[in-house]
Amino acid sequence: MARSAANEIDGPREREDANDVNNETNLSTLALSITGLTKRFGSGDESVLAVDDVSLDVKRGTVVGLLGPNGAGKTTLIKCALGIVLPDAGSVRVFGVDVGDGRRAAYADVDAMLEGARNDYWRLTVRENLRYFATIHGVDPNSVSARHDRLLERLDLTEKADTPVRDLSRGMKQKVSLASVLAGGADLVFLDEPTLGLDVESSRTLRRELRRLAHEEGLTIVLSSHDMDVIEDVCDRVVMMAGGRIVADDTVEALLSSATRETIRITSPDLDEAVVETLRESFAVRHVEDLHDTSLAGDHAHGDRDADAAVNVGEGVGSDGGVDRDQNLVEERRTVLEVDVAGDALYDLMETLREAGVTIETIDTVRPDLEEVFVDVTGMEAGAIDGRGRSP
Ligand SMILES: Nc1ncnc2c1ncn2[C@@H]1O[C@H](COP(=O)(O)OP(=O)(O)OP(=O)(O)O)[C@@H](O)[C@H]1O
Q: What is the pLDDT of residue 4?
A: 34
For residue 310, being part of any structural domain is answered with: no
State whether 73 and 142 are in the same domain.
yes
For residue 280, being part of any structural domain is answered with: yes
CA of 58 to the centre of ligand 1 (A): 22
CB 378 less than 6 A from any atom of ligand 1: no
CA of 49 to the centre of ligand 1 (A): 9
The CATH number that applies at residue 350 is 3.30.70.260
The number of CA neighbours under 13 Å toward the Cβ of 211 is 13
**pLDDT for residue 237 is more than 60:** yes
Residue 30 confidence class, pLDDT cut points 50, 70, 90: very high
CB 177 less than 6 A from any atom of ligand 1: no
Q: Which domain holds residue 281?
A: 260-292+332-367
CB 47 less than 6 A from any atom of ligand 1: no
Q: Give the span between the Cα atoms of 68 and 225, in whole angstroms.
A: 8
The CATH number that applies at residue 239 is 3.40.50.300
State whether 273 and 180 are in the same domain.
no
For residue 95, being part of any structural domain is answered with: yes
State whether 248 and 274 are in the same domain.
no
pTM over the 0.90 mark: no
CA of 230 to the centre of ligand 1 (A): 21
Over range 69-93, report the average pLDDT.
93
State whether 33 and 160 are in the same domain.
yes
Q: What is the largest CA-CA distance in the chain?
A: 81
Q: What is the pLDDT of residue 221?
A: 96
Number of neighbouring beta carbons within 10 Å of residue 303: 8
For residue 21, being part of any structural domain is answered with: no
CA of 86 to the centre of ligand 1 (A): 14
Testing ligand 1's pocket by substitution, the residue of 75, 77, 80 carrying the most ligand atoms inside 8 A of its CB is 75
Contact 352, 276 (CB under 8 A): no
For residue 152, being part of any structural domain is answered with: yes
Domain count, the chain: 2
For residue 79, being part of any structural domain is answered with: yes
Residue 106 confidence class, pLDDT cut points 50, 70, 90: confident
Chain center to CA of 206: 12
What residue spans of 82-144 are helical by DSSP H?
Answer: 103-106, 126-136
For residue 212, being part of any structural domain is answered with: yes
CB 225 less than 6 A from any atom of ligand 1: no
Atom of ligand 1 nearest to the CA of 115: 27
Q: What is the pLDDT of residue 78?
A: 94
Q: 368 versus 285: which is more confidently predicted?
A: 285
State whether 184 and 218 are in the same domain.
yes
CA of 277 to the centre of ligand 1 (A): 41
Query: Atom 29, ligand 1: which residue's CA is nearest?
Result: 71
**pLDDT for residue 265 is more than 90:** yes
Q: 279 versus 117: which is more confidently predicted?
A: 279
* Encoded amino acid at 35, one letter: T
State whether 126 and 69 are in the same domain.
yes
Over range 359-382, report the average pLDDT.
84
For residue 23, being part of any structural domain is answered with: no
State whether 275 and 138 are in the same domain.
no
Query: Atom 18, ligand 1: which residue's CA is nearest?
Result: 73
Q: Give the span between the Cα atoms of 355 and 381, in whole angstroms.
A: 33
Query: Atom 4, ligand 1: which residue's CA is nearest?
Result: 41
State whether 121 and 195 are in the same domain.
yes
pLDDT tens, position by position, 271-319: 888 999 999 999 989 889 988 776 555 544 443 333 333 333 333 333 3
State whether 277 and 359 are in the same domain.
yes
CA of 357 to the centre of ligand 1 (A): 53
**pLDDT for residue 94 is more than 50:** yes
State whether 165 and 83 are in the same domain.
yes
Q: 273: helix, coil or strand?
A: helix
CA of 244 to the centre of ligand 1 (A): 9
State whether 113 and 232 are in the same domain.
yes
Q: 217 versus 303: which is more confidently predicted?
A: 217
State whether 220 and 284 are in the same domain.
no
Over range 46-72, report the average pLDDT.
94
CB 75 less than 6 A from any atom of ligand 1: yes
